[in-house]
A = this chain, B = another copy of it.
Amino acid sequence: MSDKTPLTMADVAARAGVAESTVSRALADNPLVAEKTRLRIQKLAAELGYSINPVAQSLRSQKTRVVAVAVPLLHESSQPLSDPFMMGMVAQLADALAARGYSMLLSKVPVHEEDWIGRLLQPGRADGVILIGQSFEHATINDASRRGKAVVAWGAQLPEQDYASVGTDNRLGGELATSHLLQRGRRRIAFLGDERLPEVGQRYEGHIQALRQLGFAPDPELLARSHFRAEDALDDIRAFVTAHPDIDGIVAASDVIANSAIRALTEAGRRVPDEVSIVGYDDIELASYAHPPLTTVRQDLAEGARLLVERVLIGETNVAQSVAMTPALIIRQSS
Protein backbone atom coordinates (compact mmCIF):
# COMPACT_ATOMS: atom_id res chain seq x y z
CA MET A 1 0.00 0.00 0.00
CA SER A 2 2.97 2.33 -0.02
CA ASP A 3 2.83 4.57 -3.03
CA LYS A 4 4.69 7.64 -4.16
CA THR A 5 2.67 9.83 -6.43
CA PRO A 6 3.44 8.82 -9.97
CA LEU A 7 6.06 10.67 -11.95
CA THR A 8 4.99 13.30 -14.41
CA MET A 9 6.79 14.88 -17.26
CA ALA A 10 7.46 17.89 -15.06
CA ASP A 11 9.44 15.68 -12.66
CA VAL A 12 11.53 14.34 -15.48
CA ALA A 13 12.08 17.85 -16.81
CA ALA A 14 13.19 19.05 -13.39
CA ARG A 15 15.62 16.15 -12.99
CA ALA A 16 16.98 16.78 -16.45
CA GLY A 17 17.23 20.51 -16.00
CA VAL A 18 15.20 21.24 -19.12
CA ALA A 19 11.68 22.41 -19.88
CA GLU A 20 8.72 20.07 -20.08
CA SER A 21 8.34 20.81 -23.73
CA THR A 22 11.83 19.50 -24.35
CA VAL A 23 11.07 16.29 -22.54
CA SER A 24 7.89 15.91 -24.54
CA ARG A 25 9.79 16.38 -27.78
CA ALA A 26 12.62 14.13 -26.74
CA LEU A 27 10.30 11.26 -25.85
CA ALA A 28 8.45 11.71 -29.12
CA ASP A 29 11.72 11.41 -31.04
CA ASN A 30 11.10 14.85 -32.40
CA PRO A 31 14.15 15.80 -34.53
CA LEU A 32 13.87 19.38 -33.31
CA VAL A 33 15.63 18.41 -30.11
CA ALA A 34 19.39 17.84 -30.29
CA GLU A 35 20.36 14.20 -30.50
CA LYS A 36 22.48 14.49 -27.39
CA THR A 37 19.70 16.03 -25.33
CA ARG A 38 17.25 13.53 -26.68
CA LEU A 39 19.30 10.51 -25.70
CA ARG A 40 20.05 11.94 -22.29
CA ILE A 41 16.39 12.54 -21.57
CA GLN A 42 15.27 9.17 -22.88
CA LYS A 43 17.84 7.46 -20.73
CA LEU A 44 16.81 9.42 -17.67
CA ALA A 45 13.13 8.66 -18.26
CA ALA A 46 13.90 4.98 -18.56
CA GLU A 47 15.94 5.02 -15.37
CA LEU A 48 13.20 6.81 -13.48
CA GLY A 49 10.66 4.35 -14.84
CA TYR A 50 8.68 7.18 -16.29
CA SER A 51 6.21 6.72 -19.06
CA ILE A 52 3.82 9.16 -20.62
CA ASN A 53 0.39 9.26 -19.06
CA PRO A 54 -1.91 7.96 -21.78
CA VAL A 55 -4.94 9.83 -20.53
CA ALA A 56 -3.26 13.20 -20.63
CA GLN A 57 -1.70 12.36 -23.95
CA SER A 58 -5.06 11.36 -25.35
CA LEU A 59 -6.80 14.47 -24.14
CA ARG A 60 -4.21 16.72 -25.61
CA SER A 61 -3.72 14.89 -28.88
CA GLN A 62 -7.33 13.87 -29.37
CA LYS A 63 -6.14 10.36 -30.18
CA THR A 64 -6.55 7.44 -27.82
CA ARG A 65 -4.52 4.76 -29.56
CA VAL A 66 -7.32 2.46 -28.55
CA VAL A 67 -9.58 0.53 -30.89
CA ALA A 68 -12.90 -0.75 -29.65
CA VAL A 69 -13.67 -4.31 -30.68
CA ALA A 70 -17.37 -4.94 -30.45
CA VAL A 71 -19.14 -8.26 -30.50
CA PRO A 72 -22.79 -7.87 -31.40
CA LEU A 73 -25.16 -9.38 -28.90
CA LEU A 74 -28.14 -10.63 -30.83
CA HIS A 75 -30.26 -11.67 -27.91
CA GLU A 76 -30.26 -10.87 -24.24
CA SER A 77 -29.20 -14.34 -23.30
CA SER A 78 -26.54 -15.14 -25.84
CA GLN A 79 -22.88 -15.27 -24.87
CA PRO A 80 -21.21 -14.61 -28.20
CA LEU A 81 -17.78 -14.06 -26.73
CA SER A 82 -17.39 -17.67 -25.78
CA ASP A 83 -18.20 -18.75 -29.30
CA PRO A 84 -15.03 -20.30 -30.70
CA PHE A 85 -15.11 -18.28 -33.88
CA MET A 86 -15.46 -15.02 -32.00
CA MET A 87 -12.69 -15.99 -29.63
CA GLY A 88 -10.43 -16.85 -32.48
CA MET A 89 -11.10 -13.51 -34.10
CA VAL A 90 -10.59 -11.60 -30.86
CA ALA A 91 -7.27 -13.36 -30.32
CA GLN A 92 -6.10 -12.43 -33.81
CA LEU A 93 -7.28 -8.86 -33.40
CA ALA A 94 -5.39 -8.62 -30.13
CA ASP A 95 -2.21 -9.50 -31.98
CA ALA A 96 -2.89 -7.31 -34.97
CA LEU A 97 -3.66 -4.29 -32.80
CA ALA A 98 -0.69 -4.84 -30.53
CA ALA A 99 1.53 -5.05 -33.58
CA ARG A 100 0.50 -1.51 -34.47
CA GLY A 101 0.79 -0.16 -30.96
CA TYR A 102 -2.91 -0.03 -30.23
CA SER A 103 -4.84 -1.29 -27.25
CA MET A 104 -8.06 -3.23 -27.50
CA LEU A 105 -11.20 -2.22 -25.68
CA LEU A 106 -13.41 -5.29 -25.86
CA SER A 107 -17.13 -5.14 -25.39
CA LYS A 108 -20.28 -6.97 -26.17
CA VAL A 109 -22.82 -4.63 -27.64
CA PRO A 110 -26.54 -5.06 -27.28
CA VAL A 111 -27.43 -4.00 -30.79
CA HIS A 112 -31.09 -3.87 -29.92
CA GLU A 113 -30.42 -0.87 -27.70
CA GLU A 114 -30.85 2.64 -29.00
CA ASP A 115 -27.68 4.32 -30.23
CA TRP A 116 -25.32 1.47 -29.36
CA ILE A 117 -22.95 2.68 -32.00
CA GLY A 118 -22.96 6.22 -30.73
CA ARG A 119 -21.68 5.04 -27.39
CA LEU A 120 -18.82 3.19 -29.02
CA LEU A 121 -17.90 6.12 -31.20
CA GLN A 122 -18.18 8.65 -28.45
CA PRO A 123 -15.20 10.97 -28.55
CA GLY A 124 -12.52 9.95 -26.12
CA ARG A 125 -13.33 6.26 -26.03
CA ALA A 126 -11.48 4.85 -28.97
CA ASP A 127 -10.12 5.95 -32.32
CA GLY A 128 -12.17 3.44 -34.20
CA VAL A 129 -14.48 0.48 -33.94
CA ILE A 130 -14.14 -3.03 -35.29
CA LEU A 131 -17.40 -4.91 -35.33
CA ILE A 132 -17.18 -8.68 -35.45
CA GLY A 133 -20.16 -9.32 -37.65
CA GLN A 134 -22.74 -6.96 -39.02
CA SER A 135 -25.66 -8.59 -37.29
CA PHE A 136 -28.75 -6.84 -38.71
CA GLU A 137 -27.22 -3.42 -38.31
CA HIS A 138 -26.03 -2.63 -41.81
CA ALA A 139 -28.00 0.63 -41.99
CA THR A 140 -26.85 1.81 -38.58
CA ILE A 141 -23.22 1.10 -39.38
CA ASN A 142 -23.55 2.89 -42.69
CA ASP A 143 -24.97 5.84 -40.92
CA ALA A 144 -22.10 6.07 -38.49
CA SER A 145 -19.57 5.76 -41.27
CA ARG A 146 -21.23 8.54 -43.23
CA ARG A 147 -20.90 10.76 -40.19
CA GLY A 148 -17.16 10.31 -40.52
CA LYS A 149 -16.50 7.67 -37.92
CA ALA A 150 -13.92 4.95 -38.29
CA VAL A 151 -16.01 1.77 -38.34
CA VAL A 152 -15.19 -1.45 -40.06
CA ALA A 153 -16.88 -4.80 -39.79
CA TRP A 154 -15.99 -8.39 -40.28
CA GLY A 155 -18.67 -9.72 -42.56
CA ALA A 156 -20.23 -9.55 -45.96
CA GLN A 157 -20.13 -6.88 -48.61
CA LEU A 158 -23.60 -5.52 -48.99
CA PRO A 159 -25.25 -3.21 -51.50
CA GLU A 160 -24.75 0.50 -50.85
CA GLN A 161 -22.20 -0.06 -48.19
CA ASP A 162 -20.42 3.03 -46.92
CA TYR A 163 -18.08 1.34 -44.49
CA ALA A 164 -15.27 -1.09 -45.12
CA SER A 165 -15.98 -4.75 -44.52
CA VAL A 166 -13.51 -7.58 -44.43
CA GLY A 167 -14.56 -11.16 -44.84
CA THR A 168 -14.39 -14.09 -47.16
CA ASP A 169 -16.34 -14.62 -50.34
CA ASN A 170 -19.34 -16.25 -48.72
CA ARG A 171 -21.09 -17.16 -51.96
CA LEU A 172 -18.00 -19.00 -53.07
CA GLY A 173 -17.79 -20.67 -49.67
CA GLY A 174 -21.35 -21.91 -49.88
CA GLU A 175 -20.71 -23.10 -53.39
CA LEU A 176 -17.56 -24.99 -52.45
CA ALA A 177 -19.34 -26.77 -49.65
CA THR A 178 -22.36 -27.75 -51.68
CA SER A 179 -20.59 -28.84 -54.83
CA HIS A 180 -18.30 -30.97 -52.71
CA LEU A 181 -21.32 -32.77 -51.28
CA LEU A 182 -22.87 -33.14 -54.70
CA GLN A 183 -19.65 -34.70 -55.93
CA ARG A 184 -19.90 -37.12 -53.04
CA GLY A 185 -23.23 -38.15 -54.50
CA ARG A 186 -25.40 -36.39 -51.96
CA ARG A 187 -28.75 -35.18 -53.26
CA ARG A 188 -30.88 -34.18 -50.27
CA ILE A 189 -28.66 -31.48 -48.84
CA ALA A 190 -29.88 -29.34 -45.98
CA PHE A 191 -28.55 -25.88 -45.17
CA LEU A 192 -28.30 -25.07 -41.47
CA GLY A 193 -28.07 -21.45 -40.41
CA ASP A 194 -29.95 -18.21 -40.17
CA GLU A 195 -29.95 -16.96 -43.73
CA ARG A 196 -31.20 -13.55 -42.66
CA LEU A 197 -27.72 -12.76 -41.36
CA PRO A 198 -25.74 -11.22 -44.21
CA GLU A 199 -22.87 -13.70 -44.29
CA VAL A 200 -25.08 -16.72 -43.90
CA GLY A 201 -27.46 -15.41 -46.53
CA GLN A 202 -24.65 -15.21 -49.04
CA ARG A 203 -23.47 -18.69 -48.19
CA TYR A 204 -26.99 -19.89 -48.78
CA GLU A 205 -27.04 -18.16 -52.15
CA GLY A 206 -23.84 -19.98 -53.03
CA HIS A 207 -25.42 -23.21 -51.92
CA ILE A 208 -28.46 -22.66 -54.15
CA GLN A 209 -26.27 -21.63 -57.04
CA ALA A 210 -24.17 -24.79 -56.78
CA LEU A 211 -27.32 -26.90 -56.85
CA ARG A 212 -28.67 -25.11 -59.90
CA GLN A 213 -25.39 -25.23 -61.75
CA LEU A 214 -25.35 -28.98 -61.49
CA GLY A 215 -28.98 -29.17 -62.49
CA PHE A 216 -30.64 -29.81 -59.16
CA ALA A 217 -33.70 -27.99 -57.99
CA PRO A 218 -33.28 -26.40 -54.55
CA ASP A 219 -35.87 -27.44 -52.00
CA PRO A 220 -36.77 -24.54 -49.67
CA GLU A 221 -37.83 -27.12 -47.12
CA LEU A 222 -34.18 -27.98 -46.63
CA LEU A 223 -33.26 -24.60 -45.19
CA ALA A 224 -33.20 -24.87 -41.40
CA ARG A 225 -32.77 -21.67 -39.44
CA SER A 226 -30.37 -22.89 -36.85
CA HIS A 227 -29.12 -20.72 -34.01
CA PHE A 228 -25.39 -20.15 -33.64
CA ARG A 229 -24.96 -21.43 -30.11
CA ALA A 230 -24.09 -25.11 -29.87
CA GLU A 231 -26.88 -25.90 -27.46
CA ASP A 232 -29.61 -24.03 -29.28
CA ALA A 233 -28.38 -25.39 -32.57
CA LEU A 234 -28.64 -28.90 -31.19
CA ASP A 235 -32.31 -28.38 -30.38
CA ASP A 236 -32.97 -26.86 -33.78
CA ILE A 237 -31.26 -29.68 -35.60
CA ARG A 238 -32.86 -32.45 -33.59
CA ALA A 239 -36.22 -31.15 -34.63
CA PHE A 240 -35.14 -30.74 -38.21
CA VAL A 241 -33.64 -34.20 -38.46
CA THR A 242 -36.82 -35.73 -37.14
CA ALA A 243 -38.89 -33.79 -39.63
CA HIS A 244 -36.57 -34.59 -42.53
CA PRO A 245 -35.24 -38.11 -42.10
CA ASP A 246 -34.36 -38.27 -45.79
CA ILE A 247 -31.44 -35.81 -45.83
CA ASP A 248 -28.06 -37.19 -46.84
CA GLY A 249 -25.97 -34.04 -46.68
CA ILE A 250 -25.62 -30.90 -44.55
CA VAL A 251 -24.01 -27.56 -45.19
CA ALA A 252 -23.70 -25.76 -41.88
CA ALA A 253 -23.15 -22.05 -41.37
CA SER A 254 -20.44 -22.70 -38.79
CA ASP A 255 -18.34 -25.50 -37.38
CA VAL A 256 -20.19 -25.25 -34.10
CA ILE A 257 -23.47 -25.86 -35.90
CA ALA A 258 -21.88 -28.68 -37.89
CA ASN A 259 -20.69 -30.27 -34.69
CA SER A 260 -24.15 -30.11 -33.19
CA ALA A 261 -25.44 -31.63 -36.39
CA ILE A 262 -23.08 -34.59 -36.05
CA ARG A 263 -24.34 -35.06 -32.56
CA ALA A 264 -28.01 -34.81 -33.45
CA LEU A 265 -27.59 -37.26 -36.31
CA THR A 266 -25.65 -39.71 -34.19
CA GLU A 267 -28.36 -39.56 -31.55
CA ALA A 268 -30.93 -40.25 -34.22
CA GLY A 269 -28.98 -43.33 -35.23
CA ARG A 270 -27.69 -41.92 -38.49
CA ARG A 271 -24.02 -42.41 -39.27
CA VAL A 272 -21.67 -39.60 -40.33
CA PRO A 273 -20.34 -39.65 -43.00
CA ASP A 274 -21.64 -43.05 -44.12
CA GLU A 275 -25.27 -42.00 -44.33
CA VAL A 276 -25.02 -38.23 -44.07
CA SER A 277 -22.12 -36.02 -45.14
CA ILE A 278 -21.49 -32.78 -43.31
CA VAL A 279 -19.54 -29.65 -44.18
CA GLY A 280 -18.92 -26.96 -41.60
CA TYR A 281 -17.69 -23.37 -41.91
CA ASP A 282 -14.76 -21.43 -40.38
CA ASP A 283 -12.23 -24.17 -39.63
CA ILE A 284 -11.95 -23.40 -35.95
CA GLU A 285 -9.72 -25.64 -33.88
CA LEU A 286 -12.68 -27.74 -32.89
CA ALA A 287 -13.11 -28.78 -36.52
CA SER A 288 -10.07 -31.01 -36.61
CA TYR A 289 -10.89 -32.40 -33.18
CA ALA A 290 -14.47 -33.32 -33.91
CA HIS A 291 -15.55 -36.94 -34.31
CA PRO A 292 -15.32 -37.39 -37.19
CA PRO A 293 -13.02 -34.47 -38.00
CA LEU A 294 -14.97 -31.87 -39.91
CA THR A 295 -14.76 -31.08 -43.55
CA THR A 296 -15.14 -27.33 -43.55
CA VAL A 297 -14.70 -24.02 -45.36
CA ARG A 298 -11.69 -22.27 -43.94
CA GLN A 299 -11.54 -18.52 -43.32
CA ASP A 300 -8.14 -16.99 -42.63
CA LEU A 301 -8.67 -15.10 -39.41
CA ALA A 302 -5.12 -13.92 -38.95
CA GLU A 303 -5.17 -12.22 -42.31
CA GLY A 304 -8.70 -10.99 -41.74
CA ALA A 305 -7.70 -9.41 -38.44
CA ARG A 306 -4.72 -7.72 -40.05
CA LEU A 307 -6.91 -6.26 -42.77
CA LEU A 308 -9.54 -5.10 -40.30
CA VAL A 309 -6.98 -3.29 -38.19
CA GLU A 310 -5.34 -1.74 -41.22
CA ARG A 311 -8.69 -0.48 -42.41
CA VAL A 312 -9.96 0.84 -39.15
CA LEU A 313 -6.79 2.89 -38.82
CA ILE A 314 -7.17 4.21 -42.35
CA GLY A 315 -10.76 4.87 -41.43
CA GLU A 316 -9.73 7.63 -39.10
CA THR A 317 -9.35 9.78 -42.16
CA ASN A 318 -10.88 7.87 -45.07
CA VAL A 319 -13.23 5.06 -45.87
CA ALA A 320 -11.13 2.06 -46.84
CA GLN A 321 -11.96 -0.54 -49.44
CA SER A 322 -13.80 -3.68 -48.56
CA VAL A 323 -12.18 -7.07 -49.05
CA ALA A 324 -13.51 -10.52 -49.69
CA MET A 325 -10.77 -13.07 -49.14
CA THR A 326 -10.93 -16.43 -50.83
CA PRO A 327 -12.12 -19.25 -48.60
CA ALA A 328 -10.71 -22.76 -48.91
CA LEU A 329 -12.43 -26.10 -48.67
CA ILE A 330 -10.67 -28.34 -46.15
CA ILE A 331 -11.64 -31.94 -46.64
CA ARG A 332 -11.61 -34.18 -43.58
CA GLN A 333 -13.71 -37.17 -42.57
CA SER A 334 -17.19 -35.81 -41.99
CA SER A 335 -18.04 -35.84 -45.67
State in angstroms the CA–CA spacing of A82 and B56 once bound together: 33
Which of A23-62 touch B at CB < 8 Å?
A: 49, 51, 53-59
Q: Are A56 and B124 in contact (CB under 8 A)?
A: yes
Q: Tell which of B53, B57, B107, B259 touches A94, judged by Cβ atoms closer than 8 Å.
A: B107
State in angstroms the CA–CA spacing of A56 and B122 once bound together: 12
Number of copies: 2
Q: Cβ of A90: which chain B residues have Cβ within 8 Å of it?
A: 81, 87, 90, 106
Least CB separation from A71: chain B residue: B94
Query: How many residues of A are counted as interface, with CB atoms below 8 angstroms from the partner's CB atoms?
Result: 52
State in angstroms the CA–CA spacing of A11 and B98 once bound together: 36
Q: Are B289 and A230 in contact (CB under 8 A)?
A: yes
Tell me if A147 counts as interface (CB < 8 A to partner B).
yes
Q: Are B81 and A285 in contact (CB under 8 A)?
A: no
Q: Tell which of B55, B87, B124, B230 touches A87, judged by Cβ atoms closer than 8 Å.
A: B87
List residues of A whose CB falls within 8 A of some B CB. Answer: 1-3, 6, 49, 51, 53-59, 64, 66, 79, 81-82, 84, 87-88, 90-91, 94-95, 98, 103-108, 115, 118-119, 122-125, 146-149, 230, 259, 263, 285-286, 289, 291, 318-319
